[in-house]
Structure 1
Amino acid sequence: MTADAAFLSALVAALPAGDVLTGDAIPERNAHDWSDRYAPVPPVAVVRAADAGGVAAAMKLCAAHGVPVTAQGGLTGLCGGGTPVAGGVAISLERMAQIEEIDPDAMTMTLGAGVPLEAAQKAAAEAGLMVPLDLGARGSCAIGGNISTNAGGNRVIRYGMTREMVLGLEVVLPTGEVVTSLNKMLKNNAGYDLKQLFIGAEGTLGIVTRAVIRLAPRPASTMAAMCGLSSYDDLLKLLRAARSGLGPMLSAFEVMWPDYWSVISGTPGLKMPLPDGFAIYALVEAQGTDDAADPARFQAWLEAQAEAGLVEDAAVAQSLADVARFWEVRDAVSEFSITFGPHCAFDIGLPQARMDEFARACRAAMDAEWPGTGEAIFYGHIGDGNMHIGGRVRGAAQQPKERICEIVYGLVRDFGGTVSAEHGIGTLKKPYLSHARSDAELALMARLRAALDPAGIMNPGKVF
């Protein structure tokens, strides 16, 4: 069922003036997320509720009329999960942008789902603490979306996914019922841990409106080195050495294959810390609590790896500005439209031991399909098993996206990986979800979804 005039009138009447946008008042941005695979779908209304009560009022009406609902945060998703359903309502969390409390004793932050990640990071820093989550879209993405997609980011190897930092949630169910469980305790085994149902569910089981997240001590020291290595086997040895030698100081282990390095070398204004010619590159970052002793410890560890023959060459950060410049090399993917051109981007997970083998197989498959023009580049958060891929047919007026997806995701299935490491499923990866989940798992997901949303109005057509 879709919305009609009577429903829209009831929706406008049920919420405070200005909370419901219809017709020409609906911003274009609410018709899609950052994914470019599908055409925008304008919703029939955008609900800009200020609190859970407003979301609940809208949800009750949508449930009664059978109108589909899509929750929207910062709209930085890359898989179509935030794109509305035709004839449906978009519920925007953008006005729920209050940081309610920072508890320095419990090391928690209570905040609205619409708070941008960067705003939460700055507030925590002012309190001498840190939000563990960090990703490139920090200035635009919202906490509610981070939770609903179980975002990963740059430092998963140390702090884990978003799931590990969520202690409590307030959620509006498809019926309009508000479930408030803003728990602040690390230990709370009183029955089912219901928040886990909604973390990573992409708005298919309910809408997150508030959250309690764990904070971490703000690092006193940050060290980094960009390393050039002669083989992927040496890289795996370096990862093991970093885990054992740096211990909890290890905060990131980013890897770039030579094809990626070559492409981003052409980024305007980017200064490369190492030359071309290495078999693989690694950015190793460590964060500690002793700014006097930690740099010497990191330097000694790195020298030991060079003496052991694992690191052929390395550029070592001498300041936080150097650390930022190293990360610019890894984050140069934002300039891919200039340096690499039209392509298909992938976010997959694989066993670390097979990543280089996968990269070789993927390159070969692309070249076999499009001899001389099919190519792929590889990079990612290898310390946590996450690989990113850019695949394209060089010179093609229009990229054969479906076929490229079939090749990449088919190999992911063959290598025992996952089609989504940190970006979610949405609509983009829905056809390939069975590559990573068994029939029994998919059936259980369907039963959970039917139990919470029997009318099927929550982000229908997304995930599975």
Structure 2
Amino acid sequence: MHAQDMDALHLALVETLGEDCVSVDTSVADAHAGDWSDAPRMRPRMTLLPRTPEDVARALRVLAQHRQAVVVQGGLTGLAGGATPQAGEVALSLARVNAIESFDRIGGTLTVQAGLPLEQLQTFVEEEGWFFPLDLGARGTCQIGGNAATNAGGNRVIRFGTMRDLILGLEVALPDGTVLSMMNRVTKNTTGVDLKQLFIGSEGTLGVITRLVLKLEPMPSAANTALCAVASFDDAARLLKSLRARLASLSSFELMWQDFMSAAMDIAHLKAPFGDAYPVYVLVETLGEADDDRLALERSLEQMLEEGIVQDVIIAQTIEHAKQLWAYREAVGELLSKLKPHAAFDIGIPMERMERFVEAVRTSLAARFPQQTHLFFGHLGDGNLHVLSGPYAAASDLLEVEERVYATVKEAQGCISAEHGIGVIKAPFLHYSRSEPEIELMRKLKTLLDPTGILNAGRVTK
């Protein structure tokens, strides 16, 4: 875009939004130059900071008229590069569009704007005796609109589902500025095609989510946490099946292989939880009634010990003790920093094929890259496996690792992204999970809703 055209765009946006909502300041641009991924940072041409959902739609209308490419930004906690500006793009931040609009305390629904941080939402409803189940390590920074745009998962999918399952209604600003209101507030609604599903998980490529109606759960009175040591993946799978049958309140089932556990203890300076080392560790959480749930968990794990499915177990006695058990799993943030430049995978693998997949990938990577660290962990209950491999000095090595892992994902009939999205980083590998007819249909939907191609271009599909 020529300087004259840029000046005209800037003037039009200032007239539409107000001067305080349009920034060309370099320090603001630097703050919006990238998300948490390894995608190369780039300053946006300007940064838009609208204050209302209506402002978002008005901004898009002006951008479409000027055919100006725009990247939508939430909390910038994404790991796939979807919110990192590309050359020549304007950044559209939802940070100020963050109001809680209405709360149905009887029906348990909450209407919010897209820029509301997840942790603020959680705190608000918990003070009112309700509970929003989605929980992520980035809870303090990530925004609820971004959670919807990427169909976030987190640790409690086994019981409550992904973000898709927690949304009743949406409002979306389309790329031409049209407002599409789908603010349904009831669970049962069979009035034609559920259009909101087009936008949940579409990573901002079809429209900008501006408002959401969320489904809440009654506030559980207690959480119970246990760390289990098991002799094999097969035993972990048997444990999961048994606990699902016995514990209606089972909310998390986190799997950590020995390599991950050792690395976590080392980097976070944690003590070994058991006297012996075991091949696999499982972190279990229940959310429900204090006495009943704890007794049910204790009895279930005692039975598993007697049957030899579990080799050893620690049940948290206090909230602080539970945090100590979760510290092993949450050391992943420090490991990600230590192993840079790394290849970090967020993949979905069918349960029956997960053990073979892990062994195949571990063997392949260890043989080809014996000097690197290769770690495995994940959410077993929903088939979401994470692989962390690094550090790698050469970009060609990183590419080879990605090709090896994604090719094995395809053989296992899994998916290359379970909860982080495709963004720009995984877009070249989308064919490992989606057929050409599927990708072509995605392109057609993109063209239908964004004919000028201004919105989050180059993300998901090339």
TM-score between both structures, scaled by the size of structure 2 = 0.96
Q: Which deviates further from its counterpart, 254-263 or 439-448? A: 439-448
> 5+ residue gaps in structure 2?
none
Q: Which digits, 9 at most, give the CA deviation of each residue in 1:33-67, with x for residues without a partner? A: 1112x321211111111112211121111111111
Who is 2:376 aligned against? 378
Confirm or deny that 1:133 pairs with 2:134: yes
Local SS of the residue matching 1:137:
coil
Who is 1:187 aligned against? 188
Who is 1:60 aligned against? 61
Cα distance in 1 between the residues matched to 2:272 and 2:218? 31
Cα distance in 1 between the residues matched to 2:350 and 2:92? 38
Confirm or deny that 1:348 pairs with 2:341: no
Task: Name the amino acid aligned to 2:14.
Answer: V
Any residues of structure 2 matched to 1:315-330 within 5 Å, and which?
A: 315-330=314-329
Cα distance in 1 between the residues matched to 2:176 and 2:429? 30
Cα distance in 1 between the residues matched to 2:297 and 2:270? 26
* Contact kept? 2:29, 2:46, Cα under 8 Å: no
Task: Name the amino acid aligned to 1:131.
Answer: F
* Contact kept? 1:124, 1:130, Cα under 8 Å: yes
* Contact kept? 1:23, 1:44, Cα under 8 Å: no
Who is 1:307 aligned against? 306
Task: Name the amino acid aligned to 1:199.
Answer: I
Who is 2:20 aligned against? 18
Who is 2:34 aligned against? 32
Cα distance in 1 between the residues matched to 2:64 and 2:395? 41
* Contact kept? 1:168, 1:182, Cα under 8 Å: yes
Any residues of structure 2 matched to 1:245-264 within 5 Å, and which?
A: 245-246=246-247, 248-264=248-264
Q: Which deviates further from its counterpart, 79-88 or 380-389? A: 79-88
Local SS of the residue matching 1:292:
helix
* Contact kept? 2:339, 2:389, Cα under 8 Å: no
Cα distance in 2 between the residues matched to 1:393 and 1:44? 33
Cα distance in 2 between the residues matched to 1:339 and 1:90? 30
Confirm or deny that 1:101 pairs with 2:98: no
Local SS of the residue matching 1:224:
strand
Provide closer, same or farther for how the CA distance between residues 80 and 339 of structure 1 changes in structure 2, counting only shifts above 3 A: closer
Provide closer, same or farther for how the CA distance between residues 6 and 340 of structure 1 changes in structure 2, counting only shifts above 3 A: closer
Who is 2:287 aligned against? 287
Confirm or deny that 1:421 pairs with 2:418: yes
* Contact kept? 1:174, 1:458, Cα under 8 Å: yes
Cα distance in 2 between the residues matched to 1:46 and 1:303? 57
Cα distance in 2 between the residues matched to 1:311 and 1:367? 28
Provide closer, same or farther for how the CA distance between residues 275 and 362 of structure 1 changes in structure 2, counting only shifts above 3 A: farther
> 5+ residue gaps in structure 1?
none
Provide closer, same or farther for how the CA distance between residues 60 and 222 of structure 1 changes in structure 2, counting only shifts above 3 A: same
Who is 2:449 aligned against? 452
* Contact kept? 2:374, 2:389, Cα under 8 Å: yes
Cα distance in 2 between the residues matched to 1:165 and 1:337? 29
Who is 2:171 aligned against? 170
Cα distance in 2 between the residues matched to 1:355 and 1:273? 25
* Contact kept? 2:340, 2:391, Cα under 8 Å: no
Provide closer, same or farther for how the CA distance between residues 337 and 439 of structure 1 changes in structure 2, counting only shifts above 3 A: closer
Task: Name the amino acid aligned to 1:304.
Answer: Q
